[in-house]
Chain A
Amino acid sequence: MKYASEFRDPQLAKGLLTAIAKEVADYPGTITLMEVCGTHTMSIYQHGIRSLLPPQIRLISGPGCPVCVTPIGYVDRAVAYARQDDVIIATFGDMVRVPGSSSSLLHEQASGAQIKIVYSPLDAVTLAEKNPEKKIIFLGVGFETTAPTIAGSMVEAKKRGLKNYFVLSAHKTMPTPMAALASDPELQVDGYICPAHVSAVIGADAYQPLVDQFKVPCVVTGFEPLDMLRGIQLLAQQVVAGRAEVENEYQRIVKPQGNSKAQALLAEVFEPCDATWRGIGDIPDSGLKISAAYAEFDAEQQLPVEVEEPIEHKGCLCGEILKGKVTPKQCPLFRKACTPEYPIGACMVSSEGTCAAEYKYGC
């Protein structure tokens, strides 16, 4: 696969690993690096990167899985919609199995609810066109990589004059929670592995305020193993030298200013709002809500529904795991009550969740 296999060369990986080991050999402490993207989480586990790194470097996972940080009340609302006869829920696959307070979409599907897993939000728009007697509610979950695609679906629905397409928006935006975690005295993050494709949209310069305010190194890097190792090397070099800068390893994709058309699409359809992050809490200006110009597609505004009181599952440590404070193995439910087959917390449900990755690849 062009632009993928070249970035998986084992010989070059050995070179990077040898260089990293040399560069941190005399460093007196531990260098803790946090990634905030579920695809990075997966890449680290899939390629066994932790086991290859020198002991001075510790990798932790942050709130990078959008499904995992979606509050349980959102799932409950989707479940409530799914129970209505004239509704078809359209969603990316990961949301279907997330447990709500008393049910999940998968459970509702078994009871007859119509849930369609789509590859693209545009497929949901086509679904609306083909089913004029139904209301199609798309579950809009994701960071800045995915949010423009959902914005695009609303632009398309408007163009096609559809009145039965809706989005239940729980979009989150990225640099803000990194600032929240950087100011958490219980966490010591020495550097951020910045998300790859979120950065394709927002641009590498978006991390400059974080660097200026918290003096924390930020490196944008891709998902292939060589990208990961080079990103880790650049961060380790900054920590060892006492520098804090934004560096961009992923220049074949990410520009300093990002993708202006995607940003314009976001600005047209959404506006910033305060958002609740599961496990972290409320963070001002860290979400996206549908703007007044597209209010006709906003499920929350247009389709009132009674939703049960949210109940979080007892004993689940997803919240602490999402902040990088504990590892999945420290959760009493991990591998016992909570497995990919019978997940209790969102980190086990999503294929990109830290617990699911640890379950699949950890030892």
Chain B
Amino acid sequence: MCLAVPMKVVAIEEGTAICEVDGVRREGSLMMLDDVVIGDYVLLHAGFAIEKIDPEEAEKTIEIFREVLAAGILPE
């Protein structure tokens, strides 16, 4: 039930963000978020944007995965 989808904000109208992923558009209420601008990625759950996605933190997490890969020896 707690599934939420990362979507890109493509327009904002009266407290509602129009969000898009893979060509699908959904409205997300901005009741729970401040300072959302067009181009941000938000997490959409049950018609509400519940959090913004931090692009720097996302990149840092992926970097950790790459470091683990580099440190480990992969079985062939």
Query: Which residues of A does B touch, CB under 8 Å?
Result: 1-4, 6-7, 9, 11-12, 14-16, 18-19, 22, 37-39, 65-67, 92, 94, 119-123, 141-143, 145-146, 148-149, 152, 155, 195-198, 200-201, 223, 226-227, 230, 233, 249-254, 259, 261-262, 265, 350, 352
Contact = CB atoms under 8 A, between A and B. Distances in A.
Contact of A18 (B43, B48, B53, B74): B74
Given A15-B72, A146-B46, A152-B32, 20 more contacts: A2-B6, A12-B62, A15-B70, A16-B68, A16-B72, A18-B73, A19-B68, A19-B72, A22-B72, A37-B2, A38-B1, A92-B46, A146-B2, A148-B48, A149-B47, A197-B45, A253-B43, A254-B51, A259-B51, A261-B34
B47 A2 contact: no
Nearest to A43: B3
Interface of B: 1-4, 6, 8, 21-22, 29, 31-34, 41, 43, 45-48, 50-51, 53-55, 57-58, 60-62, 64-66, 68-75
B46 A15 contact: no
The 10 closest A-B pairs by CB, nearest first: A120-B47, A15-B69, A3-B6, A252-B58, A18-B72, A252-B57, A145-B2, A251-B57, A12-B65, A197-B2
A142 B1 contact: yes
A197 B61 CA distance: 17
Contacts of A223: 3
A139 to B, nearest CB: 12
Given A65-B1, A121-B47, A2 B74 contact: no
Given A14-B69, A152-B31, A3 B2 contact: no
24 contacts: A2-B6, A3-B6, A4-B6, A6-B58, A18-B72, A119-B47, A120-B48, A145-B50, A148-B48, A148-B50, A149-B47, A152-B48, A155-B31, A196-B2, A226-B65, A230-B68, A251-B57, A251-B61, A252-B54, A252-B55, A252-B58, A253-B53, A259-B32, A261-B34
Contacts of A227: 61
A65 B53 CA distance: 25
Given A230-B65, A252-B61, A149 B45 contact: yes
A148 B32 contact: yes
A251 B8 CA distance: 18
Contacts of A230: 61, 64-65, 68
